[in-house]
Chains A and B, each alone.
Chain A
Amino acid sequence: MTIRWTRVAIYGVLSLFALLYLMPIYVLAVTGLKSFQEVRLEQMWDLPSGLRFDSFRDAYRALDTNLMNSFKMVIPATIISCMLGSINGYVLTKWRFRGSNLLFFLLLYGMFIPYQSVLIPLVKTLQQLHVYGSLWGLVVTHVIYGIPITTLIFRNYYTNIPTELVEAAKMDGASIFGIYTRVIFPLSLPGFVVVAIWQFTSIWNDFLFAVTVTSNPGIQPATVALNNMAGSFIVEWNVQMAGALIAALPTLIVYIVLGRFFVRGLMAGALRG
């Protein structure tokens, strides 16, 4: 009988936490679906009387250019990041050289630094390169500061591909590129998925680089536009909530569809605890 009660307690506590964790999502969704007459703050927790998409329409109108900007930035940056990470991981596991571990350590450190400590030089350099204030400037930024994490994930992934496979291919006279295209790359799909999801999510969600590298509202990614929207007193709070949900949707969909790989990226980010 005591065992039964323990089970009840376990499920009770877990369910309580689940409700707490879902509470913000619930408020986001119901607020977005309410009509403008219903959005008084006192009614925050009430279900909408009907499904109205007015808030979403308004929020989308305010954010559509910025959402497009986010996609234009995140897609090329993710693709380039994946390619660089894969090559780096391949070299650092299958073509180790003297000092490659030190090099890896130096790369890794770049993953943890507060980016504030590179912002001033970054802005000055991007201005010199005439990409400051453009999406390409952001793409370059995200690709470069993404090198440590993408290299780390691919390196950990390739460590698990038996070196004998590579040695055998070397014996057969395959070149470094041959081994990559015929042995490594075909086995890399899960690695690519993990890295792509990781980069997609973190670049989409980035705010610091976006707000410092772009100043023109027409160029800014969705996170910056959403923050501006939330800081303004003109925009109704239900539109802000709808905007938040729209801005979160791409990464939420990725998480719901490919959650397994998302978690693997997360764990890689934690090194090997």
Chain B
Amino acid sequence: MNINGRRLLNLVTSEQAVAVALIVPSVIAVGVFVYGFIGWSAVVSVSRWDNVRPDYAYVGLDNFRDLFNNFRFQIDIRNTVVFTTFFVAACLGIGFVLAALLDRRVRGEGLFRSIFLLPMAVSFIVTGVVWRWLLAPRAGVNILPEKVGLPAGAYGWYTDPNVLYVHADSRLGDALHTIGLGFLADPNYGIPLAMISVVIAATWQASGFVMVMYLAGLRAIPDELRDAARVDGASEMQILRHVSLPLLRPVTLSAMIILGHQSLKIFDLVMSMSRRGPGFATDVPALFMFETTFQGNHFSHGAAISILMLLAVSLLVIPYLFWSLRREARL
């Protein structure tokens, strides 16, 4: 190697060192505030710290055991499953329909898109305040039929204490029992009706985002593919089902992961709309964590809830991160 080459190499490596130094502050900040703090929370979750004064005495998994035996936490798990299922399904369905319609060379597409996305710009707190009044039992949606002379609706919405579940003495309950799933005939495996109101508000806010994702996905499908299907005599519906939808699978997966992990963390909306709800019907782990930790000072139990939330989110997100970075590397 000649002198010049070596000089260039030295220059490059020293510049490389500067480059690394430039991101060191961010790396340290995230290292401490994300990874360090998660570790710290994990330590708190296995400690005895149960009042204002920190107490790091190790108690093993006692706090987690307490949680799984806790009535409120059991309900929270049910609520999270219900909320996630309905919220993700509603957003995917509505988002896909809107995208498919907008993809049909619609005049005023920009305006429609802006309207559907508008809720994304406001906070969950604002959404909660508005929908709290729209779904108030004696106002909003319930009194809308009166405007055209029909009787007012009598829905309790987020104040509805009823839980939809299979009764043990019903025929379906019997059937469940004979196949060994009798335990499912229990309100703990039911659908708290009040939660549907929260799903409506959340779907109003997030479905526009899914629409944008699907629309981008549809636009990325080469025209030739669909034209070929048209030449073969396929109807627009058939093309949508058999050509577009399979090609949109990665979009569906991304949307599911993003919505799913959001719904595991949902907090602000419940806080401003319904809080715990009747009989904890709209309670969620994040609200339980907040009240336990910052209002009840039961730090170790609060930390345990947060660690369980982290585990649930990680199960969803880590495989997705691997998948999308690998995909990106291949592109």
Question: Which A residues have a C-beta under 8 Å from some C-beta of B?
Answer: 6, 10-11, 13-14, 17-18, 20-25, 27-28, 31, 41-42, 44-45, 84, 87-88, 90-92, 95, 97, 101, 103-110, 112-122, 124-125, 144-145, 147-148, 151, 170, 173, 175-176, 201, 204-208, 211-212, 223, 226-227, 230-231, 237, 240-241, 243-245, 247-248, 251-252, 254-256, 259, 262-263, 266-267, 269-273
The minimal Cβ–Cβ distance linking A120 to chain B, given in whole angstroms, is: 6
Instruction: Mark the stretch among B65-73, B138-146, B162-170 that contacts chain A.
Output: B138-146
A245 to B98 alpha-carbon distance, docked (Å):
26
- The B interface is mostly helix, strand or loop, or mixed, namely helix
A220 to B22 alpha-carbon distance, docked (Å):
33
A21 to B115 alpha-carbon distance, docked (Å):
7
Instruction: Mark the stretch among B176-184, B187-195, B254-262 that contacts chain A.
Output: B254-262
- Taking a contact as CB atoms closer than 8 A, the residue among B29, B38, B121, B129 that contacts A252 in the complex is B121
A263 to B117 alpha-carbon distance, docked (Å):
9
The minimal Cβ–Cβ distance linking B108 to chain A, given in whole angstroms, is: 9
A117 to B307 alpha-carbon distance, docked (Å):
6
15 A-B pairs besides A208-B286, A226-B125, A273-B251 with CB distance below 8 A are A6-B236, A14-B112, A17-B116, A23-B134, A27-B134, A41-B136, A97-B19, A105-B321, A116-B286, A117-B306, A118-B33, A120-B40, A120-B302, A207-B267, A252-B121
**Judging by beta carbons under 8 Å apart, are B20 and A91 in contact?**
yes
| Chain B residues closer than 8 Å to A118, beta-carbon distance | 33-34, 37-38, 41
Instruction: Mark the stretch among B82-90, B208-216, B225-233, B239-247 that contacts chain A.
Output: B208-216
| Chain A residues closer than 8 Å to B3, beta-carbon distance | none
Q: Select from chain A the residue with minimum beta-carbon distance to B146.
A: A42
**Judging by beta carbons under 8 Å apart, are A247 and B126 in contact?**
yes
Q: Select from chain A the residue with minimum beta-carbon distance to B43.
A: A121
Asked if B77 is at the interface (CB within 8 A of a chain A CB), the reply is no
Asked if B309 is at the interface (CB within 8 A of a chain A CB), the reply is yes
**Judging by beta carbons under 8 Å apart, are B147 and A45 in contact?**
yes
- Given A18-B112, A114-B306, residue A266 in contact with residue B26 (CB < 8 A): no
- Taking a contact as CB atoms closer than 8 A, the residue among A145, A231, A248 that contacts B123 in the complex is A248
Asked if B268 is at the interface (CB within 8 A of a chain A CB), the reply is yes
The minimal Cβ–Cβ distance linking A108 to chain B, given in whole angstroms, is: 6
The minimal Cβ–Cβ distance linking A23 to chain B, given in whole angstroms, is: 7
| Chain A residues closer than 8 Å to B15, beta-carbon distance | 95, 175-176
**Judging by beta carbons under 8 Å apart, are A176 and B18 in contact?**
yes
Q: Select from chain B the residue with minimum beta-carbon distance to A19.
A: B115
A176 to B313 alpha-carbon distance, docked (Å):
38
A231 to B270 alpha-carbon distance, docked (Å):
12
| Chain B residues closer than 8 Å to A270, beta-carbon distance | 209, 213, 254-255, 258
**Judging by beta carbons under 8 Å apart, are A205 and B309 in contact?**
no
**Judging by beta carbons under 8 Å apart, are A24 and B121 in contact?**
no
- Taking a contact as CB atoms closer than 8 A, the residue among A27, A45, A95 that contacts B130 in the complex is A27
Asked if B2 is at the interface (CB within 8 A of a chain A CB), the reply is no
A92 to B30 alpha-carbon distance, docked (Å):
16
**Judging by beta carbons under 8 Å apart, are B38 and A114 in contact?**
no
**Judging by beta carbons under 8 Å apart, are B294 and A212 in contact?**
yes
| Chain A residues closer than 8 Å to B54, beta-carbon distance | 124
The 8 closest A-B CB pairs, nearest first, are: A205-B123, A95-B19, A273-B254, A255-B121, A118-B37, A116-B306, A121-B37, A121-B40
The minimal Cβ–Cβ distance linking B18 to chain A, given in whole angstroms, is: 5
**Judging by beta carbons under 8 Å apart, are B41 and A121 in contact?**
yes
Q: Select from chain A the residue with minimum beta-carbon distance to B41.
A: A117
**Judging by beta carbons under 8 Å apart, are A114 and B33 in contact?**
no
Asked if B293 is at the interface (CB within 8 A of a chain A CB), the reply is yes
**Judging by beta carbons under 8 Å apart, are B204 and A207 in contact?**
no
Q: Select from chain B the residue with minimum beta-carbon distance to A116.
A: B306
- Taking a contact as CB atoms closer than 8 A, the residue among B128, B139, B253 that contacts A230 in the complex is B128
* Contact string against A for B residues 287-320, beta-carbon threshold 8 Å, 1 for contact and 0 otherwise: 0011001100001001101110110011001100
**Judging by beta carbons under 8 Å apart, are B321 and A108 in contact?**
yes
**Judging by beta carbons under 8 Å apart, are A114 and B98 in contact?**
no
**Judging by beta carbons under 8 Å apart, are A27 and B38 in contact?**
no
The minimal Cβ–Cβ distance linking A66 to chain B, given in whole angstroms, is: 12
A41 to B136 alpha-carbon distance, docked (Å):
9
Asked if B101 is at the interface (CB within 8 A of a chain A CB), the reply is yes
- Taking a contact as CB atoms closer than 8 A, the residue among B22, B97, B124, B136 that contacts A87 in the complex is B22
| Chain A residues closer than 8 Å to B40, beta-carbon distance | 120-121
A251 to B236 alpha-carbon distance, docked (Å):
38
* Contact string against A for B residues 126-161, beta-carbon threshold 8 Å, 1 for contact and 0 otherwise: 111111111010111001100100000000000000
| Chain A residues closer than 8 Å to B299, beta-carbon distance | 120
| Chain A residues closer than 8 Å to B271, beta-carbon distance | 207, 227
**Judging by beta carbons under 8 Å apart, are A109 and B317 in contact?**
yes
| Chain B residues closer than 8 Å to A112, beta-carbon distance | 261, 313, 317, 321
A169 to B4 alpha-carbon distance, docked (Å):
17
Asked if B10 is at the interface (CB within 8 A of a chain A CB), the reply is no
